[in-house]
Amino acid sequence: MAVVMNKKDELVIMLAHYFVTEENYTPIIVNGVKDEVWLENTKGPYRIIRINSNHIHNDEQLKYDLFKTKNIMRQVRKKTLSFTMNTLNIFLDLGDNVNLKPIKNIDSIKIGDVEEIKNQKDLNSLFPKLKDKALFDHEGFDLLIDATNDINVKTEENNKLFEDTFKPKFVYVTLAIIGLCLLMFLITTFTGGSSSAYNLFRWGANLREAVVSDKQVWRLLTCAFLHAGILHLLVNMYSLFIIGSQIETYMGKIKYAVIYIISAISGSLLSIIFSENISVGASGAIFGLLGSLLYFGYHYRVYLGTVIRTQIVPIIILNLAIGFMFSGIDNFAHIGGLIGGYLATMAVGVRGRSSKSDMVNGSITLILYLGFLVGIAFFYVK
């Protein structure tokens, strides 16, 4: 039995197949729309590509359609914490008397058949592989089968990456850090007390004068494994187990260890810039893991939904607010760790999501940031 497809359906399949398999766009589920395909790629020339096969027969209908598009873009921006978003509107059934006009952040083009795709200079300049990779020589049942198979292969690759990233793993590094913190707590407890500033200093607490004047830079890291009292230890170890387990699972053990160390050092550097007091605790590094989770969550926002906006960001804001409201909390270490963890994750990259240019830019930004902190701490602050 022959399968007959109309030309609009063939165009939708051709374009969706190309953008998904060749340009790494991901379909977005948009409630309440019909005969439209919405695709997203944060690295693409357009953040959003919309393929619309609805019939638009006059300017008034086009005006309403663009109003609807803006509303959906606003929802996507809110969901992904994006300030701006550029969209390509591809109309497949536009009346001859409809006038497409440029609108801020929305470019619109009309495509009625395969030849118009090939002759769209702007489209082909932005997507140079379109002429060679689109299934122009397929039609009907053959087009449907080949496009479906290619998209399934691409989907399987993405699903495997998703499964490898999120499947439970034994968190050796997190448990090792917790074990080291427990060991140092026992040592400080039985050698003078874990609440003794002098004893904590003996075992590696952070202090501006010791780090800057005496060049005891190792304190920038060792302080992250010391805790002042059992409550301090328990709160931090619980937080570390919950958040650290996630980051170690998502990022891998080596990247996780790098992020943790850089976060701890970054927090300690900002701490000695703004404070002359002794400082201990893993909270600066833990805030770095929150920063890492923020960066990771942004790259997986399609899967994680509103987790960034409704969970990660509120947790960060709440904990920083608590730090400013109560004395005895080194909030500058928290802020320094948060920034360091975010930048460190940019530098090491999220597997399957970060490009080489992202990682290079992240590494450069991280080096400049740490260099700035070192310069301020060692050569400016007295």
What is the layout of strands, in order, in the sheet containing 26-27? 26-27, 36-40, 48-52, 87-91, 106-110
Whether 113 and 7 have beta carbons less than 8 Å apart is answered as yes
Query: Are the beta carbons of 251 and 292 closer than 8 angstroms?
Result: yes
CA angle 105, 109, 114 (to 5 degrees): 145
Q: Are 260 and 285 in contact (CB under 8 A)?
A: yes
Alpha carbon of 271 to those of 201, 277, 290: distances in Å? 15, 9, 18
Catalytic residue among 245, 268, 271, 283: 283
Q: What is the CA radius of gyration of the chain?
A: 27
The candidate with the shortest Cα–Cα distance to 342, out of 259, 268, 265, is 259
Q: State whether residue 69 is helix, strand or coil.
A: helix
27 contacts 20 by C-beta, under 8 angstroms: yes
Q: Going by C-beta distance under 8 Å and a sequence separation of 6 or more, which residues neighbour residue 32?
A: none
Q: Is 363 a catalytic residue?
A: no
Does 334 participate in catalysis according to the annotation? yes
Please name the helix (run of DSSP H) or strand (run of DSSP E) that holds residue 67, with its range, or none: helix 59-80
Catalytic residue among 17, 227, 299, 334: 334
Q: Classify residue 46 by its DSSP letter.
A: S
Strands (E), 68-208: 87-91, 106-110
What is the C-alpha separation between 296 and 343, in angstroms, rounded?
11
Interacting residues of 90 by C-beta distance below 8 A, sequence separation 6+ = 15, 49, 50, 51, 52, 108, 109, 111
Q: Are 332 and 274 in contact (CB under 8 A)?
A: yes
Cα dihedral 265, 254, 24, 62 in deg (nearest 10): -30
What residues are labeled active site? Answer: 283, 334
